[in-house]
Structure 1
Amino acid sequence: MDAEPMSDATQTPDEPRLIDHLIELRARLLRAVVGLFVVLLALLPFAHRLYAYFAAPLLAKLPAGGQLIAVEVASPFFAPLKLAFFVALMASMPWLLYQAWAFVAPGLYQREKRLAVPLLVSAVGLFYAGCAFAFYLVLPTVFGFLAKITPEGVAMMTDINAYLDFVLVIFVAFGFSFELPVAMVIAAALGWVTPTQLRESRGYAIVGVFIIAAVITPPDVVSQLMLAIPMCLLYEVGIVASGWVVRGRGQS
């Protein structure tokens, strides 16, 4: 007779707590989507200008008579729109991450908060740095190489959708590749690796970096080196940062 009231009493405190978390999650997701939508609306009037700016690295390297073309009928509309969405996503990334942080932060210890904030800021900054490095250095080099090896008599005319997809893949690849130090610090903070192990594995890491660079970059040595060399330098940065984190936590 008395068991049922005790069971209800033990369950009822958890139910409101779960509902509160779900309401908070819905509110954070709604704010994130609204923020992204606002940025997208602000960029839509400039979508064609954005595409012209993003096409500049290729257009600057095209031979005389080369140009971008639209193979599909709706490409002139959808390609700038897709680019505007990607730029809006990139521009609103700090706001999106803030919403995610505001949701999980109340459940973290103070020590975890002190580590998480620099990691989030570093992750965003490194991703932006990777995209900027790809746009201003890698893409002009790659397009210059491709323009030079185009067979004689072949007009280099790239579809605007194909060009956009190529550039976005390069952006994502370089952006996430530049996150290497953040991944190393997280692994060290979780106790999966130590700075000593990272230093001892430097040779294997360099080989892995060059393999990754060969897979995700265009098939030319220059672009592979332009990804592999920064990643090797970032690996060294990750070793140093991991050492700081481990010493800060009082680990050996």
Structure 2
Amino acid sequence: MPLLEHLIELRKRLMISAVAFIAAFILCYFYAHEIYAFLERPLADILATHGTNRRMIYTAPTEAFFTFLQVAAFAAAFICFPVWAGQLWAFIAPGLYRQEKRAFAPFMVATPVLFLAGAATVYFLVLPMALRFFLSFESFGTGGGELPIQLEAKVGEYLSLVMKLIFAFGVAYQLPVLLTLLARVGIISSADLKAKRRYAIVGVFIVAAVLTPPDIASQLSLAVPMLILYEVSILSCRWVERGRREEEEAKPEDPVEETDFNAE
């Protein structure tokens, strides 16, 4: 297609994605309280073991309103991710050969699955451990005039922490997809990944220390899965390399043009 038709097609895909997000945002806003209650459940369960009359607060008049807007936008983006991926695929698929479509299709499926796996790791494992670590610094005072130190979490700050962790783990879990794609186009190989394994281990622990709360349990909960995914990436790269070799071997050789030396 000429450039103008490509731009028209791109505008169409972007408009469909935008309409899907707006519709999902409106729907999610009506259920923003329920979604936020689901996100705050790990904190509520832990606070229930630290006494009664625990609460969350907001200190600016608009903080709660904008927090629920953020909740709706976050949930809408979560819901619309398959739609966005489908529109991206619909835009690039016509320009791919059949074997290229077969090669990229598994990555379109693996990306949301791995992101959901990262989000589930945060919600069921990392967040409860991190909250227990932070709540360990509470003190309820003594009789000698010491004032109690008690957590009163702000709704906006808590949501920011949850969204940051979910996004960080979701992106980190895309490691096999990224490395396998790089192997598919020939930028890296499984041998390169094996040779750089020791550097990858150091890099993974540095990333885990930056992205997660400061307790060692939260850091290990990101570092260990990423190391496992790194090993999975090596196996995936081997599979991609084997498939590429088979494709190259299956290509027919270019016919050699015979020359008639007896022609006058």
Shared fold (TM-score, shorter chain, > 0.5): yes
Question: How far apart, in 2, do the equivalents of 1:57 and 1:75 lie?
Answer: 21
1:204 aligns with 2:189: no
What is aligned with 2:222? Answer: 227
- How does 1:121-200 map onto structure 2 within 5 Å? 121-152=109-140, 153-200=148-195
Question: How far apart, in 2, do the equivalents of 1:76 and 1:243 lie?
Answer: 50
1:242 aligns with 2:249: no
Root-mean-square deviation over aligned CA pairs: 1.5
From 99, 108, 115, the equivalent of 2:103 is 115
Which runs of at least 4 in structure 1 moved beyond 3 Å after TM superposition?
none
Superposition deviation, residue 150 in structure 1: 2.7
1:40 aligns with 2:58: no
Question: How far apart, in 2, do the equivalents of 1:48 and 1:73 lie?
Answer: 17
From 91, 96, 100, the equivalent of 1:103 is 91
Cα pair 1:170 1:217 within 8 Å, conserved? yes
Cα pair 1:50 1:80 within 8 Å, conserved? no
Q: Percent identity?
A: 40
What is aligned with 2:145? Answer: none
From 44, 58, 80, the equivalent of 1:70 is 58
Question: How far apart, in 2, do the equivalents of 1:35 and 1:158 lie?
Answer: 33
Give SS of 1:60's match: helix
1:88 aligns with 2:76: yes
TM-score, normalised on structure 1?
Answer: 0.90
Question: How far apart, in 1, do the equivalents of 2:199 and 2:4 lie?
Answer: 48
What is aligned with 1:49? Answer: 34
TM-score, normalised on structure 2?
Answer: 0.86
From 67, 73, 82, the equivalent of 1:79 is 67
Cα pair 1:66 1:155 within 8 Å, conserved? no
**1:174-195: CA deviation from partner (whole Å, max 9, x where unpaired):** 0001011111101111211111
What is aligned with 2:253? Answer: none
Cα pair 1:25 1:103 within 8 Å, conserved? yes
What is aligned with 1:4? Answer: none
Superposition deviation, residue 131 in structure 1: 0.8
Superposition deviation, residue 129 in structure 1: 0.9
Which of the pair has more CA radius of gyration? 2
- How does 1:11-30 map onto structure 2 within 5 Å? 17-30=2-15
Give SS of 1:68's match: coil
More displaced stretch, 223-232 vs 70-79: 70-79
Superposition deviation, residue 135 in structure 1: 0.8
Superposition deviation, residue 66 in structure 1: 3.2
Question: How far apart, in 2, do the equivalents of 1:32 and 1:96 lie?
Answer: 6
Give 1 or 2: higher helix fraction. 1
Give SS of 1:192's match: coil
**1:110-131: CA deviation from partner (whole Å, max 9, x where unpaired):** 2221111111111111011101
Q: How many residues align?
A: 237
